[in-house]
Amino acid sequence: MCPPAHFSVTYSINPWMDPTKPVDLPLALAQWEDLRDRYRSLGHTVELLTPDPALPDMVFAANGATVVGGRVLGAKFAHAERSDEAAAHLSWFRRNGWPDDAVRLPEHVNEGEGDFAVTASWILAGRGFRSSPLAHGEAQEFFGRPVIGLELVDPRYYHLDTALCVLDDARDEVMYYPAAFSPGSRAVLARLFPDALIATEEDAAALGLNAVSDGLHVLLPQAAVGLFEPLRQRGFEPLGMDLGELLKGGGSVKCCTQELRPWIPSGRPDRA
């Protein structure tokens, strides 16, 4: 994670961002701290990136890399405003014990876990607004796992993590909003996940799918009220979070959270 010490909305690279709307920075920091503290209360270790005054979107740490099996595929951002974040993430991994041969600088545009979602069987990969389809093949070769490309068609859901959430990566269980995807991608999702939890338009518009699950607890925007009972019925414990100030930048719980999947050096975290 990365504290929103310098968070602001001074440019617009997604439909949620409006530079004319002021950001309450102390409130944004308090909301982010609540999320960080909730992870810790659930037993997760949280590692922190150092915020850079020149990079107001660094708080959205999910976009900086994808980690699967201890191998790190760095990000290459689509917009110049965020491009320098990629080096900050790769530097963190190298300083914290990840072997050089396990950390890859990407050739093609990918925005980390914004567009890569990991299940037991596949890596789901978004395209259409940010990440290049060429990045899907690059990820498959690097991680040695099948990558399923999914086309996003609604600009409000510009990253995969705004339209789909992995609920249990050991059981290939997900929730998603079908209208965010092309007809072909909807058919693929229906085939792969016939028992998926389907989000309503209202819950998707609250960025309710920009959530993080540890297989039991699901941390999600508190405004996505329609998801709470369906999650409970499936055996999950939904935990509503208020990240309303960060929503002004187009992100919520998942955007703030990069997951570090083993290999993990001794004492290293499982979430960051």
Q: Which domains occur in the chain, in start order? A: 25-256 (3.75.10.10)
Indicate if the pLDDT at residue 263 is higher than 50: yes
**Upper half-sphere CA count for residue 43 (Cβ side, 13 Å):** 3
* pLDDT above 70: percentage of residues in the chain: 96
* CB within 8 Å of 268: residues ≥ 6 apart: 45, 47, 96, 97, 260
Indicate if the pLDDT at residue 268 is higher than 50: no
Catalytic one of 2, 165, 255, 256? 255
Residues forming a β-bridge with 118: 123
Q: Are 246 and 28 in contact (CB under 8 A)?
A: yes
pLDDT of amino acid 205: 98
Please state, in angstroms and rounded to a whole number, the distance separating the CA atoms of residues 18 and 21.
6
Residue 47 burial class via C-beta count within 10 angstroms: exposed 0-12, middle 13-18, buried 19 and up: middle
How does residue 266 score in pLDDT terms, banded at 50, 70 and 90? very low
How does residue 262 score in pLDDT terms, banded at 50, 70 and 90? confident
How does residue 269 score in pLDDT terms, banded at 50, 70 and 90? very low
Looking at this protein, which amino acid is placed at residue 192? Answer: L
Catalytic one of 44, 89, 159, 217? 159
Indicate if the pLDDT at residue 14 is higher than 60: yes
Average pLDDT across the chain, whole number: 95
Please state, in angstroms and rounded to a whole number, the distance separating the CA atoms of residues 50 and 53.
10
Residues 245/114/215/205 CA torsion (nearest 10 deg): 50
Instruction: Note if 2 is an active site residue.
Output: no
For residue range 21-59, list pLDDT tens digits in order: 999 999 999 999 999 999 999 999 999 999 999 999 999
Instruction: Note if 6 is an active site residue.
Output: no
